[in-house]
Amino acid sequence: MKTIVLKFGGTSVGSIDRIKKVTKIILSYKKNNRVVVISSAMSGITNELIKKSRMISNNFNGAEYDALISTGEQAACALIAGSLNHYGFKARSWMSWQVPILTDGPYSNSRINKIFTKNLNLYLKSGGIPIVTGFQGINDNLRLTTLGRGGSDASAIMIAKFFKADECIIYTDVDGVYTTDPRLHKKAKKIKQIQYDEMLEMASLGSKVMQPSSVQDAKLNNININVKSSFQNKSGTLITKNFKKKEFSNQIITGISSTKNDAKITIAGVKDKPGVAALIFEPLSKNLINVDMVVQNISPDSKETDLTFTIKSEDVKKTEKIIKGNKRISYRKLSFDKNLAKISIIGVGMITTPG
């Protein structure tokens, strides 16, 4: 008997009708396999909860924030389990603390470090279908934590790891990973197989199909991921380690992705000496601001230089405050450009291909 992990994203469980469809998909695997289901919240719910927290405070308590925004998953899992029960099948919802799923790291950006298998294994043995909340875990203080937006992908991959699953299928609203965004370009093609490194780049550089850190988890633990649509029964994309590309033997580029929410920051006239970049970036990293591209010009007089870098546009205000408050650096001018888009061309073949 195989162990199969099925993960459903927000749109796949976005309405009661969709949840009924998902019930059928789960049952189609149940006949011959041990099935563990992970669900995200119904689409839009997590955003609504975040909005509510902001209406209370821009500085909402971290632990309460995670306790709040992880509730959508509880509702979705109970609905799926209830639907399976309705059709006469043994199923129940499992909150992260009931499994339990342990995490490390700060609130709203934690990573799973251990999943206890005993309770779920007993339940599986009794013939039940566990429906586990994605996106959440508990920390050492037994408080609820969340795994970053899109984090139920990471839950599925770590469940696949700890349960030594034979398959991990991510059900979403697109039928796989495309060479570029099919809504922006009609010629986009579905990729049948993609390597972890390329998928990691696609995901970090704008393709919204999977949470980037979850792809990293999959790579580190060698978990094959199948991305499929819960709307159409079609073959999807397999994310896996190195493979011989029979399809396109001389393929250099795998995909093109883009982001619209980047911002560029230039600090003009900083001292041109070793260690300056660290003085600038350290406080940003402590505040969980992700710096993407960095350009530092050669200084004509070896005294001063300009440093330009990009961040997510939602981090601009925070970044400005941190740099202005940084007593350890001096500069002439600080400027921001929020109207920035980034286009990335991705393919491991480029490493060995001049031009």
- Residue with smaller CB distance to ligand ASP, 12 or 254: 12
Q: Is 10 in the site for ligand ASP (CB under 6 A)?
A: yes
x/- contact string, 34-73, with ligand ASP (CB under 6 A)?
A: ------xx----x-------------------------x-
What is the SS3 assignment for 185?
coil
Report the relative pairing of strands 2-8 and 167-172 from DSSP bridges. Answer: parallel
- Determine which residue in the list 149, 190, 245, 318 makes contact with ligand ASP, applying CB under 6 A: 149
Give CA–CA dist 221/215, Å, rounded: 10
262 binds, options Mg ion, ligand ASP, none, Cβ within 5 to 8 A by partner type: none
Alpha helices in the chain (DSSP H): 16-30, 45-56, 62-69, 71-86, 118-125, 152-162, 196-204, 212-221, 276-286, 316-324
Q: Is 72 in the site for Mg ion (CB under 5 A)?
A: no
Q: Is 137 in the site for ligand ASP (CB under 6 A)?
A: no
- Determine which residue in the list 130, 150, 151, 212 makes contact with Mg ion, applying CB under 5 A: 150
- Determine which residue in the list 23, 152, 226, 310 makes contact with ligand ASP, applying CB under 6 A: 152
Q: Is 14 in the site for Mg ion (CB under 5 A)?
A: no
Give CA–CA dist 199/170, Å, rounded: 14
134 binds, options ligand ASP, Mg ion, none, Cβ within 5 to 8 A by partner type: ligand ASP
Tokens of 294: 């960095």
CB of 152 to Mg ion, least distance (A): 7
- 254 near 191, Cβ under 8 Å? yes
CB of 51 to ligand ASP, least distance (A): 12
Alpha helices in 238-315 (DSSP H): 276-286
What's the residue count for the chain?
A: 355
- Residue with smaller CB distance to ligand ASP, 134 or 236: 134
Residue pointed to by tokens 């339990």: 100
Residue pointed to by tokens 């073949």: 349
Dihedral, CA atoms, 61, 62, 64, 67, nearest 10 degrees?
170
Q: Count the neighbouring beta carbons within 10 Å of the beta carbon of residue 311.
A: 22
149 binds, options Mg ion, ligand ASP, none, Cβ within 5 to 8 A by partner type: ligand ASP
Site residues, ligand ASP (CB under 6 A): 10, 40-41, 46, 72, 134-135, 149-153
Site residues, Mg ion (CB under 5 A): 9, 150
